[in-house]
Structure formats: C-alpha cells, structure tokens
Amino acid sequence: MIHFVLLISRQGKVRLTKWYSPYTQKERSKVIRELSGVILTRGPKLCNFVEWRGYKVVYKRYASLYFCMCIDQEDNELEILEIIHHYVEILDRYFGSVCELDLIFNFHKAYYILDEILIAGELQESSKKTVARLIAAQDSLVETAKEQASSISNIIAQATK
Amino acid sequence: MAGTSIMETLFQRDLDDLIKGIRQQQIKESLFISKAIEEIRREIKSTDLPTKSAALRKLSYLSSLHGADMSFAAFHAVEVMSSPQFFYKKIGYHAVTQSFNDDTPVILLITNQLRKDLNSSNQFEVSLALECLSRIGNVDLARDLTPEVFTLLSSSKVFIKKKAIAVVLRVFEKYPDAVRVCFKRLVENLESSEPVILSAVVGVFCELCLKDPRSYLPLAPEFYKILVDSKNNWLLIKVLKIFAKLATLEPRLAKRVVEPICEFMRRTEAKSLLFECIRTVLSSLSEYESAVKLAVVKVREFLVDDDPNLKYLGLQALSIIAPKHLWAVLENKDFVIKSLSDGDYNIKLESLRLLMSMVSESNVAEISRVLINYALKSDPEFCNQILGSILSTCCRNLYEVIVDFDWYASLLGEMVRIPHCQKGEEIEHQIIDIAMRVKDVRPALVHVCRNLLIDPALLGNPFLHRILSAAAWVSGEYVEFSRNPFELMEALLQPRTNLLLPSIRAVYVQSVFKVLIFCVHSYLLHKENISSVNTDNLASEVPESVFARMSCENSDLATSEAPASSEQHDSFNPRNINQSFGDLSIENGGDATVSNSQASTSASLGRNSFTQESIVNLFNIVELALGPLSRSHDVEIQERARNVLGFTDLIKQEILNPVVQGEENLARAETEASRVVKLMCDAFSEELGPVSTSAQDRVPVPDGLLLKENLADLETICGDIQLPLSSSFSLSSTPLGEAVDISRTNLQSKDETEPSHESTSLLAEHRKRHGLYYLASEKSEVASNDYPPANDPMSQDKLNDDAEDLLKLTEQSLAPKKKPNQAKPRPVVLKLDGDEISVAAKKPELKDDLLSGVVQDVLLGNDGVPSSSRSNRSENLSGKSKGKEKLNTDLSLETKENVPGEKMPDHVNTSSRRSKHRSHGKERRQKGQGKDGEEKEDNGQKKKRKSNHHRGKHKAHQRADEPSNVVAQTPVIPDFLL
C-alpha cells in the first residue's frame, strides 16, 4: 500500500502531503525533511526509487515539482510511477495545463482529486474521466452550498438571529 | 454578538489571503505563521460557522504544509464536520481525517456523525465519511460502524461500493470480527463485472494476502479467473502479487498459473506488468525452469535498457533469484560489475549486494580484488559500503568462504590502507577474531600487523586507531612469530603514538611489555645455550626466594607498582600450588618444553640479533619512551608504563653488568633474573582463545558454594589479610577440588587478556584482597567479555579428563584441535557452542493472528474440518461460529438474542472498552453537559444491540444462499488444483 504522498517543490517547499499510515506531526516533519534531503539532491538521470527505512519511495519530477509516494518493499515501483503520472494527468486536465501555482492556491482541490484516486493507500479509480466527473459534481455541490452561505439574505438572517 | 460575527466574516482573512501572505513573507515565514495561528485560535472559537470553517481550513493548510500543530482544534473540527452543509462538512472532514489519530480524545464523539453520514442519501457525504474511516478508524469506530460498512458493500452506486470495499481493509485490521459479517459479501464482489469494483476487491485481498496468504487459498479459483480474463494491468499486478504468495503454499496452483504468467511476459507491453511477472516467477515459481529462463531473458532486457529504473529493477530481480539460481547472476556478471561504476548510488548498491551474493570459496579472492579496486576509486560513502559488505560477507558463518587465511590477513591490511576506510571497528574485531580462532594465520597476521604499526602515516587517521590497537595486541600476543622484534618495538614506541587515544595507547604499552619480555627471554636462552647453563632444574625449585626478592625490589619502586607484583603473585602462585597438589605436576614440565620450543623458533628467526648490545639498546628505548608515560594522566597508561619500567629496573642491572661482578655472582644473578623473565614469559605465552558467550552457563556451581551468601562479615577478615593468595587457597581449597582449578585458570588467563581490555588494574587489586571469594564474580566477568580467555571452556573439559587436556593446554606447540595442513588445506577455525551459525534466515512462522483465524473460519468453517494450522483459539471460534449458524438458521428471535451472549470473548473486550467510553462520558458530564452524555451512551448501547440484531439478520440471509455456495466452492478447489 501507499503510506504517504508528498509533493515537494525544487526549492524544498512542501506543496501537498497526504498520510495513509499513522504518523505523528513530529514524524511527519522529520519524514519530509529526510526525504526532501535525499530526493532533491538526486541528479536528473538517476532511477526514480529511493530505499528509505525499509520502505521504498518512488518519486518523479514534473516541471518544478517532485511527486513522491512511499510504498512497501513488495509493491511494484513501476505501477506507482504510473499512478503518479495518472494523478498528474488528472490535475492537468482539471486545471488546464497545471502549474505549481495552481497547486499552491488550490491546494484543497489537489487534495480532493487525490482522494478520488487513492483511498486507504490503494488506487480506487483508474479512469480519468470518472475522476473528472466526480470532482466536477462535488465542485458544483460546494458552489451551491457556498452561494447559499454567502448570500446576503443568509448573512442578514444570521445577523438578526 | 451578531455584529462581531459579521465583522469577523467580512474582515477575516481567508485561505487565499493566508497563502499570499506567506508567499510575500520571504524572510520571516515562521513568524508570520505563528501570528496566523494566533489569529486562527481566536477565529476558530467563533460561533459563526463560516468564520470557524475558514479558520479551520487555514489551520489544516498550515498543518499539512508547514507542520503546524492542530490538535487544539480537534473539537472545532468535529463541530464543523457535523454541519449539514456540504461545503463546511468537507472542510471539517478534511481536518479530521488529516489530524486525528488513536490518541485524539474527541475521536469518540464522531461515531454518531460518521454513522449518520454513512447512511446519508448524498453519495458524496458517504464518500467523505468512508474516507475518514479509512484513515482514522480505530477499534471502536471499526466495531461500531461495521454494520454500516456492510450495508454499503452492496450499495447500488459503484462510487460508494468501491470506497466501502477499500475501507473494509482498515475495518478488518482493527476489528477482525468484522470478517464474519463482511467477508462473504466481499468475496461475492470478486465476480463483479465492474472493473473498478474488481480492482478494489483485489486490492483488499492483495493486502490481506501479504499478511497471511494461507487463509485465502480457497479463493484461488476466483483469482485465477481474474488473472485469465482481466485486461487491466493494474489489476493484473495485484492478482500476480496474490499468486506469488499462494503459489509458494500450493505447488499445484503454481503449475496452473505458470503458463498464463509466461504468456503475459511474452506479450505485454507494460513494463510494470512485465516486472511483476518476472518477480512472481523468480520469487515463487523458481522450480519451473522454462519460466525462469524466460524471466531471466526479460531481466537481461531490463539490464541493458537505458532507463535507470529498469536497470535498477533488473538488478533487484537478479538478487531475488540469486539464492536459487546463481547461474542467472553469473550469466550477467559482467553487467553487474559494470553497474558498480554507475552514476546512481542505488544501482551501485544493488550491484554490490548482487556481487556479494555471488561470493563463494572459489571466487572470494577475485571478487574482493575487484571490489577493493572499486573502493579505491569511489567516493567515501560507497567505499565504506564496499568495505563493509566485504567484511560482513567474509566473516559470515565463521569465515566459511575463506580458505586462504593468509590472503585474508593481507586483504585486511590492504583495506586499512584505502584512504577513505572508516571501518575501524569491524576490522579491529576481525583481526583479533581470526588471530584467536585460526592458529595458522598468526604468522601472516603478525606480519601484516607489523606493516601497519611501522607506518607512521596511519597514526594520523583517527578512523584507523582501533585497527592499530588490534594490530598492537596481535603483535604483542604473538610476538614469537615476529621476524624482527626490535623493529616492532620501535614501531610501538614511535613518537607519533601520542596521537592515539589513551585506551589504545595502553594496549600499545602492554604490547611493549610482551615484546620486551620475549626479547629478554630469547636473549637469555640464547646465552644459556652458549654457556650451557641449564636453568630447567632451577626453574622447578620452590620460588620463594624470587618472591622475596621481588617484594624487596618493589619496596624501592613507586607504590603503584604493587598491583603489578601482586598480579605476578596471582598468576604464578597457583601454578606452584599445582605442583604441591601433585595432580598437575605435568604442567611444569610442559611449560619448560614450551618455552624451549619457543626459544628455538625465535632463535632460528633471529639468533644473531639477540646480542648484549641489542638488548641494552632495547632497554634504553623502552625507558626513554615510557619514562614520560609513567606520569601520564591516564591511569591505564601510567599503570602499565610503570609496570614495564619496574620490570626493566628489576632485570636490567642483573643482566647487563656481568663483567663487573664475579663469576659466581654472575651465575646467581642471571639465574634469578632469568627465572623472573621465564615466569613472565610463561604467563604471556599462555594461549588465548575465543570463548563462547554461553561458556559461563556451563560452569557448574560447585557443591557447598553458596553464591548468595551474605559476605558482609568478611570485611573484617579481609581487611587485614596480607597473606599471599596461595596460602589461603591451599588452606581452603582442598574440599573444593577441581572447582579451584577453574578459578585458577580464570585468574591466570584474566591477567593475559589484560592488554585487550581496560582497567583490570582495579580488578586485580580487588582480586588480590578478596581472591578467596572471587570465583563467582570473576566468572561473570569472563562471560561478559568479548574476548575472554579460551581456557574457560577448556576447563570444562578438564573436569572430564584433566590429565590429557592439561597436557594439551600446556603443550602449546601441539594445538589440541589442529589438523595437519596437508590433510586439509583450510586451517581450522575454532568454533564455539555460542557462535551462531546463521542458517539461511528462517522465515518467521506465520502467526495465526486473530484476523486470519476469523478469515479461515469464514472460508472453511463450513467444512467442519478445522485446518491443522489453525490455533486453538481460532478453532474455538470456528466452533462457536458453527453454533451460531445453527441458531441463525432457526431464525427465531430468541436465538438471535443469544447471539451476543455467544460471543463472550469478544464482549469481554468490548465491555472494557465501553467502560472507557463511559469514563469519558463522565468527564463530559462534569464539564456541564448534564445527562446528555449518559443518554447518548445508552443510546449507543441500544444501537449496538440493534446492530447486533441487524448483523444476525444479515447473516441469516447469507446463510440462506450459503449451501449452494458451499457446495459450489468446496469441491471446486481440489478439482481446480489437480
């Protein structure tokens, strides 16, 4: 299974973290520090796998972002690379040629998309179309809720409560 | 109130503002964040949901990307999560999923909210709850929400169903009894026509199989069907993983799947699937020659590919197959060696591991040569990685791959000279280890060590100091093999040794002592031969005079000299008593022969070198170099330096002034001096050897020795005991008999191990005083040492047949276990009982844990034949579940009421957990929420009971279809497998 997903920029800034195994906040910071130290220093033409504390970390760089996933020893590294690519493609489709800034300002969207692709550390949806459809549906749901909440009448209703 | 909330809403910074703010604060980011968190702390307390949720959202952003602590907001997150509006609910769920863990106290509050959302008609709300459960589900949540998850498993919406299936894994893990409820439905989904569902189910089974494959063997037909039918690569990879586990358990299954897998290998374009096929074949189907050959061909393709990923995986695949089919590795040997110089550290490491797996008796020299050359060229980190793996491979199973130990000694020497070498500790260990274990290597090893010692450059590298310490010890201990002891002495005393740590320096000094004694002894023997004075007769005289003389000398010396002389007492007295005992009288004769034989070897080495002049020179060097050390601040050095100086003072005059004194005088003085030297030499030439760590246990406690006796009253006796140890022994030891022999050999050999250990001087002091009572503690001391004397286990033998073994002990030239070299080319490596010879790492016994027990129950329980591997407990369970089935088929309400009762063992747990709930409830109440908590609890319990009913009903449904299922399944397995 996938234990966690990290998105780290080339400068070492964290853009997204998602933990499927229990890690305390302290451990999380330590993991991020360790791995960004290992991965960011690796040259461009090396293999995309790093052995780390008995696990394997599969990473791939897209533009200025490193997508990293930590998996068990038995897992298939190439499959994970494909999953990373799958995720990137969906992000790309959703944002329309995604860039780092999209993820910075819409970090929760990136989360929600990831939540539709992975669950409990397993791949749950291999169809890009389906994911796009699900995200769109949830977006509209959110929008209506938001509109309701921020409508003038609602604010007035709250204020006069 | 209302006004402030509007103000807050209007002027609150939302997430975008926060992100922009952080991005603008280039320098004081942390300051900005802590300010923002202050703000959030204030905002999150707001009663206004938009404000609260916006604050929570900012906080979860900071927490996930900047590591901010958000535990303080746990309760607020629960509040936001329970909002009816999806937008806020999502924020709340996100925060909860991200920040809760088993220790979060408020996790107990979300059970009902989760249940509500799991039953929601909005599929996205259900999905949020499922995701949350998959991440933070603990035992309580898993137990309480099992019925809901079970219902969702048959949801008509694919979107929900796939998530529910994925969550089942977490639920099973936390609450194994959920298997009874959900498993059938999970298995049914294996025949789903929806690829998404199928992939989710297979994903779950893949994870379950990794933990305990045996339980899922009956499902093989379903998996096989997927393997043959599916076109989805990701799904196939998971199925292959399952078969990799199952095939090792069931050979007939392996036979069945090998062909489809080979077909995949030939046809597939996807590298990920191809690699999984390769891995499956190499790890689980290695008996199928043709499949392995095909896989190795594919591995070869990976290896020559330009993609470093494939290269790496190819090497990894080879290392999987290496233990079973070494030819596959040897075939690609050239490539593996080439990969050692790859730019990628991972690939280098992998190829290093592979190379090490190829090592055998015949090629160890060749491979080590190649590796040492690489080590010379590569960066420090990898260099040490190489050295480390050479060292660990060579010492595996007591150096089983090494035939030519002389070569290995020189290899060790060579490693030391590699500039980046930092493996000091390991090399130190091995130098001493082989010196003690392998008799035949000693001459070569001494030569290697001499080369290390005389090189002043090595002293400058602190990483090598420990090796030098080992080298110094070996050269001192086995000085008789040295070609030129004078040169050795100079090396040990060279000025740059002041760079060494005090503890290592102490070893040096001790070695100086040994070398000095050896030289003087050889010189005297040499001289004796010339003047043909036979000292052997004199040596066997009662040496009272010597002691008297020594104590006179000692009184002149510094007080710190006292322990040394007492050590000499210790080490020599027992031997003399042995004589008086009579049963050990052979020993003395043996000693004489030993020293003679040693002398003859050394004489042949350097007969001409031991001249008067050279000895004088030696004394001068020693005095010059050690003089300053006798005032060293380190007690170890000071002590040992003084010992040596004391000895030189004692001997020097008598040996070197023969001309002045008369003939008779000369003869007497020389014999006395030579006697002392001889005794010292005997002490040092006593054989040391490795001792197993369990040796201590095998020393029986003699009858009549009360180890736990209170020794407090001995203080008064011991306080004024000045008698030499010997007398106390001879007085008291007669009844103890052989046990005393043990203690004696311990005492003796303890002295000799001194150079390789620290601070024995205090011990010696103590032993001198309390020697009588020293047996027990001395032994434990021996057991805890890494290189304690070999005599210990031998003394065990002694108990069996003393005379013979004593002879062996003393006749050092005839090694007790040594076989002639011609008969067997490989020198004997001393082995001990305690040495663990690792047989190929044992696979940990697959423990029948709770989960697998239950799974087997559900899968096999209907057969009525409990599988043999099942533990008692799971058998119990299966019995119970069968009982339950019967009750359920009755479908009467009453029996269903009994169901919870039937599950006593589980309920013991749950009730204890529930009491925990309650205590939490109490806390809440104290905080002023009144009876609410209690009521809720009650509700919870009621619901719980209901859910049990629920479960029972479902089960009943299941059972209804079951007979057909069972009939269909159980006969199918054997048919399929055959």
Interface with B, mutate which of A2, A47, A65 (most B CBs under 10 A): A47
Q: Dihedral of CA B378/B379/B380/B382: which sign? A: negative
Mean pLDDT of A68-85: 90
8 Å CB contact between B756 and B787: yes
Q: What is the largest CA-CA distance in chain A?
A: 64
Measured between beta carbons, which residues in chain A are less than 8 angstroms from residue B276? 76, 79
Instruction: Identify which of A118, A119, A109 has the alpha carbon closest to the alpha carbon of residue A139.
Output: A109
Measured between beta carbons, which residues in chain A are less than 8 angstroms from residue B71? 25
Nearest to A17 among B57, B64, B346 (CB): B64
pLDDT at B469 over 70: yes
pLDDT at B976 over 60: no
- For B462-466, B658-662, B705-709, which range has the lowest pLDDT when averaged over its residues? B658-662
Residue of A nearest to B313 (CA): A77
* Distances in whole angstroms, Cα of residue B54 to Cα of each of A146, B15, B90, B760, B890: 12, 7, 12, 70, 55
Q: Please give the Cα distance from B854 to B570 (Å, whole number).
A: 67
Distance from CA of B2 to the nearest CA of A (A): 5
Q: Please give the Cα distance from A12 to A147 (Å, whole number).
A: 37
Measured between beta carbons, which residues in chain A are less than 8 angstroms from residue B237? 76, 79
**Number of H-type helices and E-type strands within chain B:** 50, 0
Mean pLDDT of B212-232: 84
Q: Which residues pair with A58 in a beta bridge?
A: A49, A69
| Chain A / chain B CB contacts < 8 angstroms | 162
* Distances in whole angstroms, Cα of residue A71 to Cα of each of A9, A63, B191, B554: 20, 23, 28, 71
Angle (deg, nearest 10), helices B195-211 and B220-229: 130
Distance from CA of A58 to the nearest CA of B (A): 10
CB contact under 8 A, B204 and A149: no
Residue of A nearest to B202 (CA): A122
Nearest to B344 among A46, A119, A125 (CB): A46
For chain B, percent of residues with pLDDT exceeding 70? 59
pTM, full prediction: 0.64
Measured between beta carbons, which residues in chain A are less than 8 angstroms from residue B131? 115, 119
pLDDT at B667 over 50: yes
Mean pLDDT of B766-771: 56
pLDDT at B579 over 80: no
CB contact under 8 A, A25 and B67: yes
pLDDT band at B222 (very low <50, low <70, confident <90, very high): confident
- The chain-wide mean pLDDT, for chain A, equals 86
Mean pLDDT of B845-861: 60
B548-572 pLDDT, tens digit per residue, is 444 434 433 333 333 433 333 443 3
H-state helical runs in B250-323: 251-267, 271-284, 289-304, 308-321
Mean pLDDT of B709-735: 52
**Beta pairing, strands A65-71 & A2-9:** antiparallel
Contact status of A102 with chain B (Cβ, < 8 Å): no
| Side-chain half-sphere CA neighbours of B792 within 13 A | 32
Measured between beta carbons, which residues in chain B are less than 8 angstroms from residue A115? 131
Distance from CA of B85 to the nearest CA of A (A): 6
B888-934 pLDDT, tens digit per residue, is 434 344 434 444 434 444 444 444 444 444 444 444 444 444 444 44
What is residue B860's predicted lDDT score, i.e. its pLDDT? 61
Q: Cβ of B625: how many Cβ atoms within 10 Å?
A: 21
Q: Please give the Cα distance from A138 to B411 (Å, whole number).
A: 68
Interface with B, mutate which of A49, A118, A150, A156 (most B CBs under 10 A): A49
At residue B708, the 3 state secondary structure works out as coil
**Both tokens assigned to B554:** 């000692």
What is residue B605's predicted lDDT score, i.e. its pLDDT? 45
- The chain-wide mean pLDDT, for chain B, equals 68
What is residue B189's predicted lDDT score, i.e. its pLDDT? 83
pLDDT at B51 over 50: yes
What is residue B876's predicted lDDT score, i.e. its pLDDT? 41
Distance from CA of B923 to the nearest CA of A (A): 26
8 Å CB contact between B584 and B761: no
Residue of B nearest to A147 (CA): B87
What is residue A67's predicted lDDT score, i.e. its pLDDT? 92
CB contact under 8 A, A28 and B67: yes
Residue of B nearest to A58 (CA): B309
CB contact under 8 A, B346 and A115: no
Q: Which of residues 62-101 of A touch B (CB under 8 A)?
A: 72, 74, 76-79, 81-83
Q: Please give the Cα distance from B331 to B582 (Å, whole number).
A: 67
A98-152 pLDDT, tens digit per residue, is 888 888 888 888 888 888 888 888 888 888 888 888 888 888 887 887 777 667 6
What is residue B834's predicted lDDT score, i.e. its pLDDT? 52
**Beta pairing, strands A2-9 & A14-19:** antiparallel
pLDDT band at B719 (very low <50, low <70, confident <90, very high): low
Answer with the residue of higher pLDDT: B850 or B208. B208
- DSSP assigned state of B584: T
B393-440 pLDDT, tens digit per residue, is 888 878 888 888 888 888 888 888 888 888 888 888 888 888 888 888
Measured between beta carbons, which residues in chain B are less than 8 angstroms from residue A160? 2
**Beta pairing, strands A118-119 & A14-19:** unpaired
Residue of A nearest to B14 (CA): A105
Measured between beta carbons, which residues in chain A are less than 8 angstroms from residue B130? 119
Q: Please give the Cα distance from B245 to B260 (Å, whole number).
A: 16
CB contact under 8 A, A47 and B66: no
What is residue B431's predicted lDDT score, i.e. its pLDDT? 87
Mean pLDDT of B700-705: 74
Exposed, middle or buried: residue A109 (CB in 10 Å: 0-12, 13-18, 19+)?
middle
pLDDT band at A47 (very low <50, low <70, confident <90, very high): confident
**For the CA atoms of B19, B22, B24, B26, what is the dihedral angle to 10 degrees?**
-150
Instruction: Identify which of B229, B329, B236 has the alpha carbon closest to the alpha carbon of residue B282.
Output: B329
pLDDT at A70 over 90: yes
Measured between beta carbons, which residues in chain A are less than 8 angstroms from residue B63? 25
pLDDT band at A68 (very low <50, low <70, confident <90, very high): very high
Mean pLDDT of B92-111: 84
Answer with the residue of higher pLDDT: B734 or B494. B494
**Beta pairing, strands A49-52 & A2-9:** unpaired
Q: Which of residues 40-69 of A touch B (CB under 8 A)?
A: 43, 45-51
Distance from CA of B235 to the nearest CA of A (A): 10
**Both tokens assigned to B29:** 């980011």
pLDDT band at B689 (very low <50, low <70, confident <90, very high): low
Q: Please give the Cα distance from B348 to B334 (Å, whole number).
A: 14
What is residue B832's predicted lDDT score, i.e. its pLDDT? 62
At residue B938, the 3 state secondary structure works out as helix
B496-540 pLDDT, tens digit per residue, is 888 888 888 888 888 888 888 888 888 878 777 766 544 444 444
For chain B, percent of residues with pLDDT exceeding 90? 0
* HEC string for B192-227: CCCHHHHHHHHHHHHHHHHHCHHHHHHHHHHHHHHH
Nearest to B170 among A120, A138, A146 (CB): A120
State ipTM: 0.91
- For B272-276, B328-332, B627-631, B734-738, which range has the lowest pLDDT when averaged over its residues? B734-738
pLDDT at A153 over 70: no
Residue of B nearest to A14 (CA): B65
Mean pLDDT of B147-163: 86
Measured between beta carbons, which residues in chain A are less than 8 angstroms from residue B120? none
Contact status of A14 with chain B (Cβ, < 8 Å): yes
**E-state strands within B470-617:** none
Distance from CA of B174 to the nearest CA of A (A): 13
Nearest to B87 among A112, A134, A149 (CB): A149
Contact status of A156 with chain B (Cβ, < 8 Å): no
CB contact under 8 A, A74 and B210: yes
What is residue B337's predicted lDDT score, i.e. its pLDDT? 81
Determine phi and psi for B102, rounding to 5 degrees: -65, -25
Mean pLDDT of B443-469: 86
CB contact under 8 A, A119 and B6: no
What is residue A85's predicted lDDT score, i.e. its pLDDT? 92
